[in-house]
Amino acid sequence: MAVTKDELQRRYSNVRAALEDDGLDAALVCGSEYTGFEGAVTYLSGFLIVHRYAYVLLPREGEPAIVFPSEARYVGEHGTSLVEEQVFAERPGDWLADRLRGQRVGVYGLDYVMPVRDYRPLEDACELVSWDVGFDLARAVKSEEELESVRDSVRINTEGFWIFLDGFEPGRTEQELLAPCEEFFVASGCGRATMDMVLVGERGSALPEFKIAGRRPIAPSDMVLPSLEIAGPGGHWVEVSRAVCATDASSESLRMLEAYEEYDAAARQAMRPGASAHDLHRAVAKGFVDRGYKLGHVTGHSIGMTMIEFPKIGEGDETELQEGMVFSMHPHAISGDGQACVYMQETWLVTRDGGVPLSGLPVRIFDGTETRHEATLRAPG
């Protein structure tokens, strides 16, 4: 799902308006092949990084450029970039330093993505300003074209959960359960833009540590929380998952589920334009906090062509929500003794009437012995 030129110009206009507000001369967007961190470059160019790293330079006035290290000349389909000026430099930092000398530059990825070899010449040539928040807020409201991509990703991710449930059977390993999901994701155009993890525990409770799926067979009393995160062909990341247990969930897990049901109802009401990210966090966290649970992971965050974007849905973030923002919400409820957790993911859309969960999956602990058809019949409505 390639970006259109009109959509790209809309993105440039939004970013340039943010540059002007922050007194910056240019945006320098860094991306690398590290899963989830390539999307900012795709967002401003249409180019998908296959290997190494790249930059998009967007001046407040003038034409953009996309810059690659010279060893990346044949590790990507460079013709997919809609940016006309394509630069292959032995050391991109040297080329960028010459272009940006004396300017004040907002850098997306300054702390986590930019290689040291490029930072050194740039820091002597211009003023570098860490601009992760500014850039993310400039792209937080999704266009209709982007929302089409988001919904397509949600469709693929949700089908992946159904595949996980269909294959769930005690005695199968974690790897055997996740492999068909990954096969479907890749066949649906996700490529490498997938991240599959699990949380697993015995006696109807999952331990709070995320892990890569291993060779451990699932026991009949295990609770399994698959963490399924993908970006579909359009490049927009989403996160959709639910808990699965073949036998009865523990009383602690069921109590956490009650808090999850309260979070779902609260998000539908509180996730509306004009509310702050802080207000939304307080509303959805209340059911967990009132029951004495710790929240071991950020409650939620904006999500787009980079897996994790600002604003975060958390304490003290006063960013005002706007219609068209998309959030991944995943309260991580952890018992006081640290021996039980429930972690389920959903991708939400902010509308004028409140939050809308996009997957259509009910908020519940799924019975691992039921079929997809049986689970669908149990869904409310």
Burial (CB count within 10 angstroms: exposed 0-12, middle 13-18, buried 19+), residue 323: middle
Is the pLDDT at 246 greater than 50? The verdict is yes
Pairing of strands 243-245, 223-231: antiparallel
Q: What is the pLDDT of residue 35?
A: 82
What is the average pLDDT across 29-33? 94
pLDDT-derived band of residue 338, with 50, 70 and 90 as boundaries? very high
Domain boundaries for CATH 3.90.230.10 within the chain: 144-378
Q: What is the pLDDT of residue 381?
A: 47
- As a whole number of angstroms, the distance between CA 255 and CA 288 comes to 9
pLDDT-derived band of residue 55, with 50, 70 and 90 as boundaries? very high
Q: What is the pLDDT of residue 49?
A: 93
Superfamily of domain 5-138: Creatinase/prolidase N-terminal domain (3.40.350.10)
CB-CB neighbours of 203 under 10 Å: 17
pLDDT, the chain, mean: 95
Is the pLDDT at 187 greater than 50? The verdict is yes
Three-state SS string over the chain comes to CCCCHHHHHHHHHHHHHHHHHCCCCEEEEEEECCCCCCHHHHHHHCCCCCCCEEEEEEECCCCCEEEEEHHHCCCCCHHHCCCCEEEEECCHHHHHHHHHCCCEEEEECCCCCCCHHHHHHHHHHCEEEECHHHHHHHCCECCHHHHHHHHHHHHHHHHHHHHHHHHCCCCCEHHHHHHHHHHHHHHCCCCCCEEEEEEEECCCCECCCCECCCCCECCCCCEEEEEEEEECCCCCEEECECEEECCCCCHHHHHHHHHHHHHHHHHHHHCCCCCEHHHHHHHHHHHHHHCCCEECCCCEEECCCCCCEEEEECCCCCCECCCCEEEEECCEEECCCCCCEEECEEEEEEECCEEEECCCCCCCEEECCCCHHHHHHHCCC
What is the average pLDDT across 279-307? 95
With CA atoms as reference, report the closest residue to 73 among 41, 93, 50, 96.
50
The percentage of the chain sitting over the pLDDT mark of 90, rounded to a whole number, equals: 90
Is the pLDDT at 378 greater than 80? The verdict is no
Superfamily of domain 144-378: Creatinase/methionine aminopeptidase superfamily (3.90.230.10)
Is the pLDDT at 111 greater than 80? The verdict is yes
Is the pLDDT at 26 greater than 90? The verdict is yes
Give pLDDT tens digits for 112-158: 999 999 999 999 999 999 999 999 999 999 999 999 999 999 999 99
CB-CB neighbours of 77 under 10 Å: 10
pTM for this predicted structure: 0.95
Domain boundaries for CATH 3.40.350.10 within the chain: 5-138
The dihedral region occupied by 36, where left means phi > 0, alpha psi between -120 and 50, and beta the remainder, is left
- As a whole number of angstroms, the distance between CA 261 and CA 265 comes to 6
Q: What is the pLDDT of residue 100?
A: 98
What is the average pLDDT across 9-25? 98
Is the pLDDT at 11 greater than 80? The verdict is yes
b/e string for 349-373 if b means 16 or more Cβ within 10 A?
Answer: bbeeebbebbbebbbbbbbbebeee
pLDDT-derived band of residue 75, with 50, 70 and 90 as boundaries? confident
pLDDT-derived band of residue 380, with 50, 70 and 90 as boundaries? low
pLDDT-derived band of residue 379, with 50, 70 and 90 as boundaries? low
Give pLDDT tens digits for 311-325: 999 999 999 999 999
The four Cα atoms 296, 301, 304, 305 give a dihedral, to 10 degrees, of: -50
Is the pLDDT at 1 greater than 80? The verdict is no
* Higher local confidence (pLDDT), 73 or 326: 326
